[in-house]
Structure 1
Amino acid sequence: MRRIGRRDIVAAILIALLAGAVFTSPPLQILQGLSLDILTAMRGKLVGDRRDPATSPVVVVAIDGETYDTPPFKGSPTLTWTREIGRVLGSITEGGAKVIGFDVIFPSSIEQSEIPFGDAPLGSRMKGFDRDYLIALRQLSDSGKLVLGEILSNDHPDRPYRAQQLAVKNNIRALNVHTDPDDVIRRMPLSFAIDGKPVPAMAIELAARALGTTPGTEPSGAMQPSDYTIPSAVPNTLTLNYRGMGRDIPAYSFADLRACVEKGDRDFFRRAFEGKVVLLGTVLNFEDRKLTSMRLSGGYDGSPAPRCALPASAGTAQKARSDIAGVFVHATVVRNLIERDAVTELGFPARTILTIAFAAIIACAACMLAPGGAVIAWLALTAVYAGVAVGAFVHALALPLTEPALASLAALAMMIGYRFMLADRDERFLRKSFAFYLAPEVIETMVASGKMPALGGEMRNVTMFFSDLSGFSSIAETMTPGELVTLMNEYLSAMTDIIEGHGGYVDKYIGDSIVAMFGAPADDPAHARNAVRAALKCHEKLADLNANNAAFAGHGLSHRIGLNSGEAVVGNIGSRRRFNYTVMSDTVNVASRLEGANKYYGTAIMASEATVAQTGDAFAWRELDAIRVQGRGEAIKVFEPLAERDGESAEQKKVTALYAEGLACWRAREFAKAVDAFDRLAKVDPPSSMFAKRARALVANPPPLEWTPVNTLEGK
């Protein structure tokens, strides 16, 4: 995790402010509506429709496709339906409906027709056709149980024809809707100014009458029923709450109700409409369809209500649609008002603050984490926030969703760009510059701390790795400087790659020598095993270079490697002005001596018993001898690694067994037997050849009684 500085905090705040301001600005106000759409869809999918249509305080009488296909309406113009409408409305009122609202407008009457029919216009021959209908309207209006609808417009207002206006007096209310810039209805107007006075919208009027109150005026001038203060993010509007996705409002087919009137089933009308608000409107596939906040999930044209007289027509199964019949928009408003269930949206200041805060959190995460981790953090936090928003929406509180999500995504992108262009520039320079000199772990520590290295060290258990090319000085004398540089670069690069590939850290190069350690700077519990594996791989690689690399052709290079494990001081060591990340201790000195000891035995790799002990049973070993190196009085046993455990060849197993037999005779002062054992291997095994000579010398000149089987090495 990256450390945050003061500059990064300032950048994160500025980026969050910019992103929040942009995504909550008026040009992107469409995002506020999109949040409502997404929340409606998510609530519908996650919570579902749990409301029984029978409990709805509002119902719809649908002039639907069935009505158009059922006699006596089939083939008849709607202007001729008025008398039947009046009869059905009368039965609904007798059934106990509280109030009836018209979402259909009859702007003319068949009595007004001037189409010639015989010697006179058709209208004059139809005088009195609407009498019963107008009487029914008058009676319902006088009882306060009827409200006709109209469309307000400066250019083309749409109102009921004059006779209806006179019949209902002032019981006409506007059906106009509030359409967002993307042509989606998410809110409904509460009132309209007519002749300079506020007049309630249709839904407000119906809800007030159902509640037995008179629409009141808020201090802002908006209308409200009873004492319910309607939450309004947009002045003088109500935000629609489609809690049941349209299926919580029962819809009665007008054709079935007309047949029920003919049947005389008054009990059905009482069961269906007692105490209800009734809305009469068209429910057709291609007429008066409205896009609402259910457009993403799909809404329904109500829930099919119980039938009275006609059987349900075939193909009445409902499917979710992106648009719904306009009458259900008004029905939803009425239900929201009666149940005080309108959606509460946050105002502009609260939405902006919330968006900026979320963007700031993501910007800080992007500042601390790598780009991939920051993206995962954005996804996780956005999912959590979306869950919280859906939970709040269940309780009719609409938190902004798209604005915080998009603003935080923009903040994430900008912060990543900021880090790449500015904040991480110094870090990348530091990594690139020091990568040639320091271990990656040391660089990570420097970057994480935000401080330059300082003098100091700590005790660590490490395994030291020393290697040196055999007889390289004489070989170098035969080469040109260019050839020498090429050879050394190839050799040191190959060895370094293997060492670092096994978790080692190259401390320094001394000519053709390599000093490395395992177990620091990075902690590595398996440092001894990794060091031995690296030594074996380096030995194999040198053989490959001798055979296949042109720079090595004809030189037959060989090297010696010494390994030793133990406690050492590791850290920044040097002067106050210049120091190296290195290691110091007797452990280091012993490893150096073991590297040189290889030339006495003719071996390539030699490890101390401390290293062997820390590798467990991971390798096959051959014990070489007990030696006393220069500068150290205590004798140590030394070993040669052969291969991974169970990976040694049959020849290696044979040599190891005979060598162990000879070494046992040597230590038992049975020098003649030791000569016989070692002589059997002397031609193929340099350590055996060396021991055979030593044993033969002691056969000729037996050592004193105080002799110990320890080889004291005089040189390095």
Structure 2
Amino acid sequence: MTSDRPFADAALGRKQLVILIAIAAMLAGTVTGLTAKKAIWEGWVTDQLFQVRAILRGPQEAAASPVAVIGLDQTSLDSERLSSLPRVLMTPVLAEAGQAILDAGAVALGFDFVFAYSADTFVDPSSGEKRLLDYDQPFKRFLFKNRGRIFVAHTEVGVPHRSFSGAAGAGGVRSVQVVPDSDGVVRWHTPGVPLSNSDYLIDALLGAAGSTVSESFMPIPENRLATLLPYLSLIDVLALSESDEGKAELERFVKDRIVLIGGLLPFEDEHRFSDRFLPHLPAGLAETGASGRPPVPLLDTAGVLVLAEFISAELAGRTASEPSAGSLPALAFLFAIAGGMAGLFLPLAALPFVALVGVGAGLAIALLGLDFGIMLAPGVMPVSCVSAMVVASVGKVGILQRRQRTLVRLFGHYLAKDVIKQMAQSEQLPELGGDTRYVVVAFIDIVGFTKMSEKLADRDVVRVVNACFDAIGQSITAHQGYIDKYIGDAIMAVWNAPNIVERPEQSAVDAAVEIIGLLEKIRDITGQQELDLRIALNAGPVLVGDIGGEHRRSFTVMGTTVNTASRIEAVAKDKKVRLAISQSVADHLPRTYPVKEIWTGQLRGLSTDISVYTLDEPEMFMELVGPAIEGRGKSGRSKLLKFRRKN
């Protein structure tokens, strides 16, 4: 009995740890999954679900829409009747068309126009005469006559002229504002209750059609709106209203429908909507007038079509709403359980495939929810599953592979990725010392730091330096460089150590050019307009390796090449250039790089002469004077970018 006790205790302890990891994985998966709701990428996934749904359903004839759109499009503006009429003077035409639509049996009419200008107020500047007095009277009479059935638009910045607002009456002016999600795409509408008192045009027209919706909803589009919604050009409405046959045709088009009139000109009042990935409805299946439809924009959708879709989808039952309270957390927890169990009990090699299955299952459930009018946040279930799986698998690895903890301690000694990989393979620290390698060394100095630090508080100085180092460091890393160390207000960087760079000289110069190109951005970020940069580059052999002791060490490069690069910075300062490169760097650059010699002589500490160069471009000079830029116009920067693109 006593001999079995230690084994039993050890087994019990391991089981408890496994249970603890499982609970932690499930909780972490559930919480992480729920935080994915309303993530900026979730909307994109939602729109892709709409696309998948449309593809699975295939081309279908659109059901009769309860909403029709009348468009002031380019065809109407180019027509013989309207081509000579400015858009601000179209109120009589809109009154004529609107009355014809209402007479044809439309339930209600909404104008997606603000009508901020009244022609009645126009005064001839030469005579002071009101030349267009009573011009808008037909439209005002039209609004007054049909109060309660006509609604005109206002926006955050635009309201109708007071004479039109008065004619439309109380409640006749409604907002056409739509609220986009965090990714800038319009998907949801939250109605005001009751609809008759809501400030939104959408709600006013829904109320006129007898809707009683009170909760936020999302339309489920099935095709691009520009090809789906019943559409007539404004000029077609005017033409149809001139004959009995045309009036009968117009009645077939608008009877018992909500009608919206708005502009469909390119780049005017367009929104990013969730229909942008959907297929076009074939032309033969869409209700369209004789003048056809405007071209479909690549990604955006006309505002009047967005308003129409919100109304049409709600009246036709093509909407999705938020799930009931508790259902989404429950689904997240179930997926977290599945992911946690997979992470604990399946081989690591199988987990990527299980993750794909979990993601697919979560998206499939969200897709199925659309058929029941429920918008299950599509990111919650996949993220819950994958997060729990990751937590569980990491915990399992922590139990079964304790040696990895030693590597975690070792990683704290290094920053270079290549050194860390070498340590992970050997599972031990490299020996002190190093190897000789050909590298390019850069010293990047913040010019004006001393004066700036005298004027700023210590906390602000740190903020400015960190902002500079962050921007510069990103460019260095992007061009395969390695930041060796920070020296006060300067950076020492290396190319070709510890990693291998095929053309270290060109990579270093390209990084320097990019960093100098970021100068204005850095100034704006830091708020220091007097701030400048100075970069010195030198190439040659150095000793690459570890220095220090067994308790603390640092990976670095040492040698004459490093010292020379530091001295070249003094030449850059004397010649007032932002970039100074040694001949060993210049000789390895492609011929397209506009290299120009700026100094020849003996640097301090060296026994031989050396030539220093820069790039013959205006951005490289701190003061725009001297022969290096004579005859140069504003094309210097474009030339600089041009030679970089060639290489």
TM-score after normalising by structure 1: 0.50
Q: Which amino acid aligns with 2:122?
A: S
**1:30 aligned to 2:36?**
no
Pairing partner for 2:103 from 94, 99, 106: 94
Does the CA contact (< 8 Å) of 1:245 and 1:299 recur in 2? yes
1:261 aligned residue: 241
Q: Structure 1 residues 9 and 300, CA, compared in 2 at 3 Å: closer, same or farther?
A: farther
Does the CA contact (< 8 Å) of 1:51 and 1:244 recur in 2? no
Q: Structure 1 residues 149 and 38, CA, compared in 2 at 3 Å: closer, same or farther?
A: same
SS at match of 2:377: coil
Pairing partner for 1:305 from 273, 287, 299: 287
1:409 aligned residue: 386
Using the TM superposition, give the Cα deviation of residue 145 of structure 1 relative to its aligned residue in structure 2, in angstroms. 2.0
SS at match of 1:345: coil
2: CA distance between counterparts of 1:346 and 1:31?
A: 20
2: CA distance between counterparts of 1:361 and 1:49?
A: 37
1:282 aligned residue: 263
**1:323 aligned to 2:324?**
no
Q: Which amino acid aligns with 2:364?
A: G
**1:149 aligned to 2:150?**
no
Does the CA contact (< 8 Å) of 2:270 and 2:300 recur in 1? yes
1:229-268 matches, within 5 Å, as 230=214, 232=215, 237-246=216-225, 247-263=227-243, 265-268=246-249
2: CA distance between counterparts of 1:360 and 1:249?
A: 44
Q: Which amino acid aligns with 2:112?
A: D
Using the TM superposition, give the Cα deviation of residue 261 of structure 1 relative to its aligned residue in structure 2, in angstroms. 2.6
1:8 aligned residue: 18
Q: Structure 1 residues 8 and 65, CA, compared in 2 at 3 Å: closer, same or farther?
A: farther
Using the TM superposition, give the Cα deviation of residue 42 of structure 1 relative to its aligned residue in structure 2, in angstroms. 2.0
Q: Deviations over 1:114-161 (max 9, x none)?
A: 451x4125xx011111111211121122xx32112222x4xx3x2211
- Structure 2: state its 5+ residue gaps: 1-13, 406-647
**1:127 aligned to 2:133?**
yes
Q: Which amino acid aligns with 1:306?
A: T
Q: Deviations over 1:335-374 (max 9, x none)?
A: 2332344212226743333223212211211211112212
1: CA distance between counterparts of 2:352 and 2:346?
A: 9
Using the TM superposition, give the Cα deviation of residue 311 of structure 1 relative to its aligned residue in structure 2, in angstroms. 4.8
1:62 aligned residue: 71
TM-score after normalising by structure 2: 0.55
1:74 aligned residue: 83
2: CA distance between counterparts of 1:164 and 1:263?
A: 30
Q: Which amino acid aligns with 2:165?
A: Q
Q: Deviations over 1:532-583 (max 9, x none)?
A: xxxxxxxxxxxxxxxxxxxxxxxxxxxxxxxxxxxxxxxxxxxxxxxxxxxx
Pairing partner for 1:422 from 399, 413, 417: 399
SS at match of 1:178: coil
1:272 aligned residue: 253
SS at match of 2:117: coil
2: CA distance between counterparts of 1:393 and 1:163?
A: 45
1:21 aligned residue: 31
Using the TM superposition, give the Cα deviation of residue 291 of structure 1 relative to its aligned residue in structure 2, in angstroms. 1.1
Does the CA contact (< 8 Å) of 1:12 and 1:364 recur in 2? yes
1:41 aligned residue: 51
Q: Structure 1 residues 257 and 27, CA, compared in 2 at 3 Å: closer, same or farther?
A: closer
1: CA distance between counterparts of 2:89 and 2:23?
A: 68
Q: Structure 1 residues 301 and 330, CA, compared in 2 at 3 Å: closer, same or farther?
A: farther
RMSD between aligned residues: 3.2
Q: Deviations over 1:474-503 (max 9, x none)?
A: xxxxxxxxxxxxxxxxxxxxxxxxxxxxxx
- Structure 1: state its 5+ residue gaps: 212-224, 429-716
Q: Percent identity?
A: 20
Does the CA contact (< 8 Å) of 1:49 and 1:243 recur in 2? no
1:136 aligned residue: 142
| Count of residues in Structure 1 that have an aligned counterpart in Structure 2 | 389
1: CA distance between counterparts of 2:26 and 2:59?
A: 37
Does the CA contact (< 8 Å) of 1:32 and 1:403 recur in 2? no
Q: Deviations over 1:87-109 (max 9, x none)?
A: 11111111111110111111111
Q: Structure 1 residues 375 and 26, CA, compared in 2 at 3 Å: closer, same or farther?
A: closer
1:176-575 matches, within 5 Å, as 176-191=177-192, 199-211=198-210, 225-226=211-212, 228=213, 230=214, 232=215, 237-246=216-225, 247-263=227-243, 265-297=246-278, 305-307=287-289, 310-312=290-292, 319=296, 321-346=298-323, 349-425=326-402
SS at match of 2:275: coil
2: CA distance between counterparts of 1:125 and 1:267?
A: 38
2:549 aligned residue: none
Answer with 238-247 or 85-94: which moved more. 238-247
